[in-house]
Amino acid sequence: MIRCATIALFVMTGALPSPLLAAEAGIAPGLELSAVVRVRVARVEPVAVGGSSIATGVVAAYRKATVSAEVPGRIIGRLAEPGTQAQAGATLVHIDADRLQLQVRQAKALARARRVDAEHAQHEYQRGQRLFVRKVISEDTVDDLRFADQRAQAQLQAALVEVASAERNLRDASVTAPFDGQIEHVHVQVGDYVNPGQPIVTQTDFSKARLIAGVSGSDTNHLSVGDTATVAFDDLGGSTVQARITSVGRIKEQPSGTYPVELELEGLIASRLREGMVANIAWQHGDRPGSGISMPAAALIRRSGQIGAYVIEDNIAELRNLRIGKSDGRRVEVLSGLAVGEEVVIEGQFALRDGARVEVERYGS
Are the C-beta atoms of 263 and 55 separated by less than 8 Å? no
Instruction: Tell me the average pLDDT of the chain.
Output: 86
Mean pLDDT in residue range 111-127? 97
Kindly report the number of other CB atoms within 10 A of residue 160's CB atom: 16
Is pTM beyond 0.85 here? Answer: no
Mean pLDDT in residue range 170-175? 97
For 226-250, how does the pLDDT look when each residue is reduced to its tens digit (9 = 90+)? 999 999 998 888 878 999 999 999 9
Kindly report the number of other CB atoms within 10 A of residue 297's CB atom: 15
Lowest mean pLDDT among 127-131, 191-195, 221-225: 221-225
Which amino acid, residue 85?
Q
> Kind of pairing, strands 323-327 and 331-336?
antiparallel
For 47-64, how does the pLDDT look when each residue is reduced to its tens digit (9 = 90+)? 666 666 788 999 999 999
Burial of 299 (0-12, 13-18, 19+ CB in 10 A): buried
Residue 277 has pLDDT above 60, yes or no: yes
> Kind of pairing, strands 357-362 and 343-347?
unpaired
Alpha-carbon span 359 to 351, nearest angstrom: 13
Alpha-carbon span 225 to 229, nearest angstrom: 11
Lowest mean pLDDT among 9-18, 81-90, 181-190, 231-240: 9-18
- Give the pLDDT score at 15: 40
- Give the pLDDT score at 216: 85
pLDDT band at 143 (very low <50, low <70, confident <90, very high): very high
Mean pLDDT in residue range 266-285? 88
pLDDT band at 335 (very low <50, low <70, confident <90, very high): confident
Alpha-carbon span 250 to 260, nearest angstrom: 8
Alpha-carbon span 181 to 315, nearest angstrom: 72
User: What does the buried/exposed string (b/e) look like for 14-43 if buried means 16 or more CB atoms within 10 Å of the residue's CB?
Assistant: bbbbeeeebeebebeeeebeebebebbbbe
- Give the pLDDT score at 285: 65
Are the C-beta atoms of 312 and 44 separated by less than 8 Å? no
- Give the pLDDT score at 53: 74
Higher per-residue pLDDT: 96 or 219: 96
> Using the 8-state DSSP alphabet, how is residue 285 labeled?
P
Which H or E run includes 282? Answer: strand 278-284
Counting residues of the chain whose pLDDT is more than 70, the rounded percentage is: 85
Kindly report the number of other CB atoms within 10 A of residue 139's CB atom: 8
Residue 146 has pLDDT above 70, yes or no: yes
Counting residues of the chain whose pLDDT is more than 90, the rounded percentage is: 62
Mean pLDDT in residue range 68-76? 97
Q: Which residues pair with 239 in a beta bridge?
A: 233
- Give the pLDDT score at 363: 61
For 8-50, how does the pLDDT look when each residue is reduced to its tens digit (9 = 90+)? 333 333 344 444 334 333 344 444 445 788 999 998 988 666 6
Lowest mean pLDDT among 66-75, 108-117, 165-174, 255-264: 255-264
Q: Which residues pair with 316 in a beta bridge?
A: 313, 357
Residue 66 has pLDDT above 70, yes or no: yes
Higher per-residue pLDDT: 308 or 363: 308
Lowest mean pLDDT among 20-29, 135-144, 258-267: 20-29
Mean pLDDT in residue range 192-208? 97
- Give the pLDDT score at 46: 84
Residue 291 has pLDDT above 80, yes or no: no
pLDDT band at 364 (very low <50, low <70, confident <90, very high): low
